Amino acid sequence: MYRFLLSRQWVFLTLLGLVLIPVMIRLGFWQLHRHEHKVANNKIIAAALKAPPVPVESVTRPGFEVPHEDLYEAVSARGHFDTAHEVVARHRTAGNAGTGDDAGGQQIGYHVITPFVLDDGRAVLVNRGWIEGPDDPTAFPKIPAPPSGEVTVFGRLRPDETTSATGIRNPKGLPPRQIMLINSTMMSRYMPEQLVGGYLEMVSLSPGGKPSSPALIPEPNHSDIGPHLAYAIQWWLFSSMVPVGWVVLLRRERAEILAARAARSGAAPGPGGDGTGDGDGTGADGSGDGEGDGSGDTRGDTRGDTTADSATVSV
């Protein structure tokens, strides 16, 4: 009955289902892990944004890699800006730091990166915000100057950008004072001061408050958890539908085979069926015709001839 399962079509279909089920289950867990990472990341950001700022010297140093648990940690730095070594990061949107933030607009421009010399002689890179790009992308744009003299910068600590972490390529031959990645190790080659690891996204200045230009990088969105949990459930539902679909196809194939067998059985002659009845009827008709017509005619003719012959002899 189920011998059709050994056909090439059904063997392929079964093997395909056996491959798809674990793959879909794994994809579901992958989306679940992304959901968990997003939730944990949101908690880290929310806690960091609520915490009071700490001196940047207490959380980073030259060559230091900012750990994930210190992401967006509120920090403060006291010193002065070094505009002589100021650069711009290319291809940045008005509300995106280029590292996965989702807030803000999509107009392409530059992020202004200005070294900030600390009181101890070291320096930290400060992302002062976004400006619109000039018509000539090879020209250095006009940048509003920061406050001169001693100031305190408040900001969010960010790790050094890398191609692997951000997906931003770092080609050679860029115009002077233009960069693709905000990276303290790369910038330290052109700086007289020793740079600490990571950089600051500026939030405000003291004195000065919140400058209107360059446009400050908006606070990261830490309330959106994304669609990953829904995707995980979707993949698991797909994996459960594979065996259900296989059984449905199996039953449909079996029903079609049984229907074809029944149709063939009804069309073929069999003993005691219509063919036998037709044969009997034909025999009966032939016998009746032979006996009635042949016997009657023969007896009649014979008797007549015999009577006639007898009468002739008598006469």
| Per-residue pLDDT tens digits for 243-272 | 999 999 888 888 888 888 888 887 655 554
Per-residue pLDDT tens over the stretch 77-131: 999 999 999 999 999 987 654 444 443 456 889 999 999 999 999 999 999 999 9
The mean pLDDT value for 23-30 works out to 96
> Rounded to whole angstroms, how far apart are CA atoms 240 and 248?
13
Return the residue matching tokens 């960010």: 158
Ranges of beta strands (E only) in 2-61 are 54-55
Crossing angle of helices 8-50 and 228-267, in 10° steps, is 170
CA dihedral 165, 169, 174, 175 (to 10 degrees): -60
Domain boundaries, the chain: 53-206
How do beta strands 74-81 and 54-55 pair? Answer: parallel
pLDDT digit string (tens) for 138-159? 899 999 999 999 999 999 999 9
